[in-house]
Amino acid sequence: MSVIAVVGGQWGDEGKGKVIDMLAEQADAVVRFSGGDNAGHTVINPQGEFKLHLIPSGVFYPHCTCIIGNGVVVNPDIFIKERDELCARGVDTSRVYISDRAHLVLPYHILLDGLEERARGVKSLGTTLRGIGPAFVDKVARMGIRAVDLLDTAILRDRLEYVLEYKNQLLTKLYGEPPLNFDELFEICMGYANQLRGNIKETSSLLDDYIRQGKRVIMEGAQGALLDTDFGTYPYVTSSSPLVAGGCLGAGVGPAKLDRALGIFKAYCSRVGSGPMPTELCDDIGEQIRIRGHEYGTTTGRPRRVGWFDGVAARFSSRINGLTGVAITRLDILDTVEALKICVGYRLNGDIIYDFPADAATLHQCQPVYEEMPGWCQPTTEATCLEELPQAARAYIARLEELVECPANYVCIGPVRRQAIELAPIL
């Protein structure tokens, strides 16, 4: 198998960073394909603990080329900080490239993210305030500044003049804020150009070369399917596609080149930000899971909402992604829960439905229909194979496999690289 996509199956933070750090040992390249620094991917390996926002989780292997694809929006400040911090901790970042087609997140995007959230009032989306939505808006509005623009001063000046004029109208006339100064912004961008010149590259041809040579490529997703702009809980979604299909577009790899698609699912659910979450637990069990699982956002530090595994949402996610397998993470967080629940349908207006509704207001009205399963109430963190897991944990995994309609390739039982059980290799 040479090309695989690894994507979030739920609302993000499923443990993509951990799984990709583990799989990248056998990969020649890892390419991030969507989102921006709204992502926070945690990796704990023999080199330490790292929280990556833009740089792919394969960076810890000297043999692995890391690409930030055209589908990612890149805040140069965050990239430079992340690259330099990794370097300072002894991680080789000389093989980290940014697609020349990637759009940039600039200071006005961050300002507008905050102003738009404020304007939404009680209907705010709970964004990460990283300017991600406004940057993707500019991309489709054909107003974006791309990495390639940094390489030509005249083009950069010309584009930035036009774009900033428009942004300043928005800032001053719609929001009553002071305008941004062109010369200062241009100076900042010239600084980015100096810092990033060595990283910017045409990356889709690089990936094509790798694929032609039969090398192994991992497409690294950010966020999760239920935050997808088209299929997520709209409008409580992010502004790019975390799906496998988004991977092909955001990396510049034709869909027929893809061999497998691995969805990452927590053994329960979590969500940061606003929007419906039918299985949310607002009781003691929820608090117990949040505390035991340290469920606080990697990027924003906000407490994550937690809930039981949602089989309806998971089956939907598996289908729209076309998953060939899943990795179930954080099984160990359920080690102390005596009785587990899994949502297998939604009760809506007296009926039971099994499909994930298109609209957030309808999803909000859905009451989960639960199936109960016994907990295992013993530690799983040292297990090295399926047989070493308690019978109740194996039964739980088997039920999740039925619900997502594909096999589990991996089960993770701790945050550290080695804490994973391989049931069937994906690479």
Q: In the complex with Mg ion, which residue's Cβ is closer, 43 or 111?
A: 43
Binding status of residue 414 toward ligand GDP by CB under 6 A? yes
Concerning whether 41 is annotated as a catalytic residue, the answer is yes
Q: Let me know: does 180 contact 169? Beta carbons within 8 Å.
A: no
Q: Cα–Cα distance between 427 and 421 in angstroms, integer?
A: 15
- Encoded one letter per residue, x for contact with ligand GDP by CB under 6 A and - for no contact, window 315-334 reads --------------xx-xx-
Q: Which helix (H) or strand (E) holds 110?
A: helix 107-120
Task: Tell me which residue of 209, 208, 282, 216 sits closest to 252, measured CA to CA.
Answer: 208
CB of 63 to ligand IMO, least distance (A): 24
What single string gives the DSSP state of each residue in 145-176?
-BGGGGG-HHHHHHHHHHHHHHHHHIIIIIT-
Q: Which of 415, 417, 421, 426 binds ligand GDP (CB under 6 A)?
A: 415
Residues in region 17-56 near ligand IMO by CB under 6 A: 35, 38-41
In the list ligand IMO, Mg ion, ligand GDP, none, the entry touching 130 (Cβ below 5 to 8 angstroms by class) is: ligand IMO
* Pairing label, strands 305-307, 260-266: unpaired
The single residue of 21, 28, 37, 41 carrying the catalytic annotation is 41
Q: In the complex with ligand IMO, which residue's Cβ is closer, 239 or 318?
A: 239
CB of 32 to Mg ion, least distance (A): 13
CB of 16 to Mg ion, least distance (A): 7
CB of 124 to Mg ion, least distance (A): 20
| 65 strand-pairing partners | 29
Q: Let me know: does 21 contact 264? Beta carbons within 8 Å.
A: no
Q: Which of 7, 13, 144, 203 binds ligand GDP (CB under 6 A)?
A: 13
Binding status of residue 247 toward ligand IMO by CB under 6 A? no
In the list ligand IMO, Mg ion, ligand GDP, none, the entry touching 69 (Cβ below 5 to 8 angstroms by class) is: none
Q: Which of 45, 47, 124, 298 binds Mg ion (CB under 5 A)?
A: 298
Q: Distance between terminal CA atoms of the chain?
A: 6
Q: Cα–Cα distance between 314 and 344 in angstroms, integer?
A: 10
In the list ligand IMO, ligand GDP, Mg ion, none, the entry touching 330 (Cβ below 5 to 8 angstroms by class) is: ligand GDP
Q: In the complex with ligand IMO, which residue's Cβ is closer, 160 or 226?
A: 226
Binding status of residue 40 toward Mg ion by CB under 5 A? yes
Task: Tell me which residue of 335, 331, 369 sits closest to 350, measured CA to CA.
Answer: 369
Q: Which of 133, 247, 286, 414 binds ligand IMO (CB under 6 A)?
A: 133
By rule CB under 6 A, what count of residues binds ligand GDP?
A: 21
The beta strand positions in 324-417, using DSSP E, are 325-329, 339-348, 351-353, 367-374, 408-412
Residues in region 52-71 near ligand GDP by CB under 6 A: none
By rule CB under 6 A, what count of residues binds ligand IMO?
A: 25
Angle at 241 between CA 238 and CA 242, to 5 degrees: 90
Q: Which of 65, 203, 204, 223 binds ligand IMO (CB under 6 A)?
A: 223
Concerning whether 13 is annotated as a catalytic residue, the answer is yes
Q: Cα–Cα distance between 40 and 22 in angstroms, integer?
A: 17
The single residue of 13, 21, 149, 332 carrying the catalytic annotation is 13
Q: Let me know: does 69 contact 252? Beta carbons within 8 Å.
A: yes
How far, rounded to the nearest angstrom, does the alpha carbon of residue 29 sit from its chain's CA centroid? 18
Task: Tell me which residue of 227, 94, 111 sits closest to 170, measured CA to CA.
Answer: 111
CB of 202 to ligand IMO, least distance (A): 25
Q: What is the number of other CB atoms lying within 10 angstroms of the CB of residue 402?
A: 11
Residues in region 248-287 near ligand IMO by CB under 6 A: 272-273
| Half-sphere exposure (Cβ direction) of 49: Cα atoms closer than 13 Å | 5
- Encoded one letter per residue, x for contact with ligand IMO by CB under 6 A and - for no contact, window 287-306 reads -----------x--------
Binding status of residue 13 toward Mg ion by CB under 5 A? yes
Q: Which residues are catalytic?
A: 13, 41
Interface residues with ligand GDP (CB under 6 A)?
Answer: 8, 12-18, 40-42, 44, 298, 329-330, 332-333, 412-415
